Amino acid sequence: MKIALVGATGLVGSVMLKVLRERGFCNCELIPAASSRSVGKKIKFGDKDIEIVSVDEAISKKPDFAIFSAGSSASLEYAPIFAKNGTTVIDNSSAWRSYEDIPLVVPEINGDILTSKDKIIANPNCSTIQMVMALAPLHKKYQIKRVVVSTYQSVTGTGMNAVNQLFKERAGEECNMAYPYPIDLNLFPHGGSFGDDGYTTEEVKLLNETRKILRDNSIQVTATVVRVPVTGGHSEAVNAEFHHEFDISEVFSLLDSMPGVVVLDDPANNKYPMPIFAEHNDDVFVGRIRRDLTQPKTLNFWVVADNLRKGAATNAVQILQYIIDKKI
């Protein structure tokens, strides 16, 4: 099996290499591709040193799969070329998520929509993935009416420049600014770019992607995205209103039985999800689960996940695994 990894040298690309190794893909023929400044350099994959090639060369090698983590413009340009050559593309950017005929997939929730005709598959936004992992079993049972979510997003979601900014600031050193403001000892309600309605692109994704993955356009989602000086993962405070009444013990049971979700909820002993628990982990952690006392059929909970793993690299590799396992 040949697998191209486009954007192999980036922050998410490096985690994808790690996840591919962990999940048993070391024996595949890996084709790492990146921009011209990285071509010719070598990366380690298992016990092999593999030379990075251009995207055009990766296309010429006709891989079975191509996992993209190189940004929207690269995906829009090159994914159709790979697909035309028979390669199945799994794209981590926002380029293809809103296209009606492109599947947007979290395998535990809607992997069943995939067919052999799907040559471009979109990986959802990191914040969406962890939220819908918790919402999916609850929606199936109680039917979601409305979600209010505030996110507390790690600087790793912006990339290595943002991580460098955080730690350079913490050390009191000069640095290139990935953000318009300092991030250390600070936070700001800004993720993506602002639209005319005052919402950011990151906030709009939470609405549109949740509806698409859960296959229900009646779900209402309103979001506020906040960037925080954290590296371990994204956190979200979720308030979900349902059409049907729920039993809180059943909510715990439904979440606990959801593959990939870990309930960490023991407030008496100060146990609840935090990025320091989620970092380098593929699970989505849910805690602070409690009824909203101000209105009926409404639940509050807190969800945390490593945005580089389940929020990006792991979900992409899980899509690959799903296709192989189901012989799609």
Pairing of strands 144-153, 65-68: unpaired
- Sign of torsion over alpha carbons 154, 159, 161, 164: positive
269 class by beta-carbon count within 10 Å (0-12 exposed, 13-18 middle, 19+ buried): exposed
Rounded distance, CA 25 to CA 19, Å?
A: 9
DSSP letter at 4?
E
Residue whose structure tokens are 């009606």: 100
Q: What are the structure tokens assigned to 75, written together?
A: 């995906």
Residue with tokens 């590296």: 231
Return d(Cα 295, Cα 85) in angstroms, integer: 54
The three-state (H, E, C) secondary structure of 42-99, written as one string: EEEECCEEEECECHHHHHHCCCCEEEECCCHHHHHHHHHHHHHCCCEEEECCCCCCCC
Distance CA 49, CA 42 (A): 6
Q: Where are the beta strands (DSSP E) in 101-260?
A: 120-122, 144-153, 220-227, 234-242
Dihedral angle computed from the Cα positions of residues 138, 289, 130 and 243, in that order, rounded to the nearest 10 degrees: 30
Kindly give, in sequence order, each residue whose CB lies less than 8 Å from that of residue 4, ignoring residues fewer than 6 positions away.
30, 31, 32, 33, 58, 59, 61, 63, 65, 66, 67, 82, 87
Active site residue 244: no
Catalytic-labelled residue, pool 234, 243, 244, 280: 234
Q: Which amino acid is at 117?
A: K
Check if 175 is active-site.
Answer: no
Q: What are phi and psi of 260, to 5 degrees?
A: 90, -5
**Which active-site residues does the annotation give?**
126, 234
